[in-house]
Structure 1
């Protein structure tokens, strides 16, 4: 295979290095912002004069509405079927048609930075591996509760050895801070801006990787 002239080779290497540096910089931005998410709980705890309550005091638990369906009995469709860690399938019917918070009951991870809690919206089905919560939004916003739950270590609330589980009683007893709603709205706006930056950098990484492939394929 004939090699391009040395000057052309140097130019190709330089092009790749520039793009690789852009990729590394974008990855660093994403890593730093995701690390900041893990410290969200600490930030809330540092706020002055914040009321602390148990989760069960500010959320309605809708677990009784959950319906597990075995994989063999599921009919494929367009509605997300949620389990402990997120969407596990799509089915032809739904139980819920509103914005709610899901928290892994069993089969989840409950350490700092794990996505134990997540928001579900639209029409969807939930099995019995995730708790279903409707927060009192006059007291706490979905995004704040979700971010806080995901930024703390929940292992002290977990029962069971063979099958670790965050049962409903323990979940209800989780202590959470209640900053003023205006403060919560400001924090949500900041999180949304950070998410935009993360997504923009992920897109940049994809573009730069594609450009590197184009450079290499043109040799």
Structure 2
């Protein structure tokens, strides 16, 4: 793999169709543990492209497929990779500048939370059901909210919102938690709601 680890596959998925932008790729794929990555197109696929035109700065690659030119573009925020301490020291010694940061375990004592005032405790006890974590979808109401489209109207094709790759794991974790709490449910309808993560003031 690209990070230097060896990963051995035990099975193969034959003839999988992978949709990449306007390009359909039909190949045999190996199910591997890829961490937060979904798919890796390796050298066996790259060898089938023949002559390619690559712009490493813009992270684009052009090649010919079925008599037409196809282009794929990389995600520029992924331009980071793990580095070993040995390679880091070698780079610093060659460039003669930089910073070497040493991380060590530290111990700290967590201060107890501030006590809740009595008048607040009374309110929390009185409306305890309001402050409980939800465990399901709202019950049916007499009036349900609906968006009624004109007859014959088809859903508008909208691309998903782009988000930094490092947020992928957090989005999947939150969706898993909400599914377990049953506050959301799977849907196969043609309409969707884009996902947007907004940081809190404390950076979380």
Report if TM-score (shorter chain) is over 0.5.
no
Largest Rg, 1 or 2:
2
TM value normalised by structure 1: 0.20
Give the structure with the larger helix fraction.
Answer: 1
Say which structure, 1 or 2, has more relative contact order (CA 8 Å, 6+ apart): 1
- State TM-score, norm by structure 2: 0.21
Which has the larger share of strand? 1
